[in-house]
Amino acid sequence: MMMMTMKATTLCNSSVFSNTFPCSSSSSSSSALCPNFSLSLRLRNLNLSTTTTAAPPQSSLVVIDETSTTNEGDLAAASASAEEESSSKSAARRLILLRHAESSWENRSVRDHDRPLSKAGRSDAVNVSSKLQQLGWVPELILSSDAARTQETLKIMQEQVQGFLEAEVHFISSFYSIAAMDGQTAEHLQQAICEYSRDEMLTVMCMGHNRGWEEAASMLSGTAIELKTCNAALLEATGKSWDEAFALAGLGGWKLHGIVKPN
d(CA 95, CA 142): 10
d(CA 89, CA 82): 11
- CATH number (domain holding residue 175): 3.40.50.1240
Q: Residue 99 annotated as binding? A: no
Neighbours of 26 (CB within 10 A): 8
Instruction: Return the percentage of the chain with pLDDT > 70, whole number.
Output: 67
Does the residue 45 lie in any domain? no
Instruction: Return the percentage of the chain with pLDDT > 90, whole number.
Output: 65
- What is the count of structural domains for the chain? 1
d(CA 154, CA 142): 9
d(CA 47, CA 45): 5
Does the residue 84 lie in any domain? no
| pLDDT at res. 89 | 87
Residue 52 reports pLDDT greater than 80: no
Does the residue 186 lie in any domain? yes
Residues ≥6 apart with Cβ < 8 Å to 39: none
Does the residue 80 lie in any domain? no
Q: Which domain holds residue 212?
A: 91-104+113-260
Residues ≥6 apart with Cβ < 8 Å to 38: 30, 31
For residue range 68-124, what is the model confidence (pLDDT) as tens digits?
Answer: 344 555 555 655 555 555 556 899 999 999 999 999 999 999 999 999 999 999 999
Does the residue 60 lie in any domain? no
